Amino acid sequence: MLQLANPLNASPLIFPMIECFHIAGFVMAIGTCALIDFRLLNLAMAHQTSAQITKDTGPWTLAGLILVICSGLLIYSTDPDMYYLNLPFLLKMGFLVLAIVFHYTVLRKVALSSEPPGKSKLAACVSLALWVAVVFGGIFIGFTSPNLSF
Amino acid sequence: MLLWLARWAENTEFFTYIRASAYTYPVILSLHMVAIALFGAMILLTDVRLLGWAMRSCSVSDVVDQLRVPKRIGFLFAATCGVLLLGSKAEDYYYNIFFRIKVTLFMLVIVHALVFRKSVYSRAAALDRDPQIPGRAKLAAVLSLILWVSIFSAGRGIGFILAPGGLHYGVP
pLDDT digits (tens, 9 = 90+) for A33-86: 999 999 999 888 888 888 889 999 999 999 999 999 999 999 999 888 888 889
Cα–Cα separations (whole angstroms), residue A122 to A35, A72, A111, A128, B67: 15, 29, 12, 10, 23
B165: number of Cβ within 10 Å: 10
CA atoms of B9 and B30, how far apart (whole Å): 22
In the predicted model, residues of chain B with pLDDT beneath 50 are 164-172
Question: Do the chains contact at B66 and A30, CB–CB below 8 Å?
Answer: no
- What is residue B59's predicted lDDT score, i.e. its pLDDT? 85
Mean residue pLDDT of chain A comes to 88
**pLDDT score of B169:** 38
Neighbours of A7 (CB within 10 A): 9
* Yes or no, beta carbons of A60 and B169 under 8 Å apart: no
Whether A27 and B156 lie within 8 Å, measured CB to CB: no
CB B127 within 8 A of CB B133: yes
Decide if pLDDT at A145 tops 60.
yes
Portion of chain A with pLDDT greater than 90, in percent: 59
- pLDDT tier for residue A6 given thresholds of 50, 70 and 90: confident
pLDDT of amino acid B147? 95
Query: What is the b/e burial string over A28-43, where b = at least 16 CB atoms within 10 angstroms of the residue's CB?
Result: bbbbbbbbbbbbbbee
What local confidence, expressed as pLDDT, does residue A149 receive? Answer: 47
pLDDT (0 to 100) of residue A1: 52
The predicted model scores a pTM of: 0.88
Of A19, A34, A135, the CB nearest to B30: A135
Give CA angle at A50 (A47, A55), nearest 5°.
110
The partner residue sitting opposite A31, judged by closest CB among B40, B157, B170, is: B40
Q: What's the pLDDT score for residue B168? A: 41
As a whole number of Å, the CA-based R_g of chain B is 19
Closest CA to A41 of B54, B38, B65: B38
Closest residue by Cα to residue B146 from B51, B31, B62, B68: B51
A83 within 8 A of B170, measured Cβ to Cβ:
no
ipTM of the complex: 0.88
A31:B38 CB<8 A: yes
Query: What are the pLDDT digits (tens) for A73-119?
Result: 999 998 888 888 899 999 999 999 999 999 999 999 888 887 667 78
What pLDDT score does A147 carry?
Answer: 53
**A11 in B contact zone (CB under 8 Å):** no
Residues of A in contact with B37 (CB under 8 A): 26-27, 30-31, 34, 131, 135
Q: Which of A48, A59, A142 sits opposite B167 (nearest CB)?
A: A142
Q: What does the CA dihedral B15, B21, B22, B27 come to, rounded to 10 degrees?
A: -60
The answer to whether the CB atoms of B168 and A78 lie below 8 A apart is yes
Whether residue A52 and residue B58 make contact (CB cut-off 8 A), yes or no, is yes
The Cα of A108 is separated from the nearest Cα of chain B by a number of Å equal to: 17
More confident residue, B96 or A13: B96
* DSSP assignment letter at A105: I
pLDDT at position B167 is: 41
